[in-house]
Structure 1
Amino acid sequence: MSLDWNALGEVTAVSIGVTVAVVVVFALGVLGLARFEGAKEGGDGTSSLGMAQAALCFLACAAVVAYGIYLIVPQFH
């Protein structure tokens, strides 16, 4: 049995990179929700900006999850 160590390393690096990116984007979404709540309590006019940031970040996370499911499930191909 032979292993392609370069391919294994490449898959590992991409997996770690995508995982870190999704966690960062999700954290930015939580930050947007916190800004939205803070602006709502403080009466600031930037509450819609925080909600837009959160929505875009959570939508990006959902898109990555959906793409992963698409790659795993063979009936979608």
Structure 2
Amino acid sequence: MTINWAGLFEVFAIALGTVLVVTTLFSFGVRGLSSHADARAEGGSGTVALTASVACFAVCAAIVLYGIYLIVV
């Protein structure tokens, strides 16, 4: 039995990159919601922050669902 080190490294690198992207997008989404709440408290609309946070959460959800799709299929 031999280990395909190149394949193992490839899976590790892709998983690490995906984790970094999803974590960063999620944190931007939470920050956007916080900015939206701050803007609403100050009397503004904060729609840009809300739109950006929803987009970040949607991309996170799409990445997670695609990963589940790859596992199942």
TM-score, normalised relative to structure 2: 0.95
**Count, aligned residues:** 73
What runs of 5+ residues in structure 2 fail to find an aligned partner?
Answer: none
Aligned position for 1:48: 47
Aligned position for 1:20: 20
Aligned position for 2:31: 31
Superposed CA deviations along residues 39-61 of structure 1, whole A, max 9, x for unmatched, are: 0001124x000110110000000
Aligned position for 2:10: 10
Query: Between the two proteins, what is the percent identity of the paired residues?
Result: 38
What runs of 5+ residues in structure 1 fail to find an aligned partner?
Answer: none
Query: Structure 2 CA distance, aligned partners of 1:15 and 1:67?
Result: 13
TM-score, normalised relative to structure 1: 0.90
Paired AA for residue 2 in structure 1: T
Structure 1 runs of 4+ with >4 Å offset: none
- The root-mean-square deviation of aligned C-alpha atoms, in Å, is 0.8
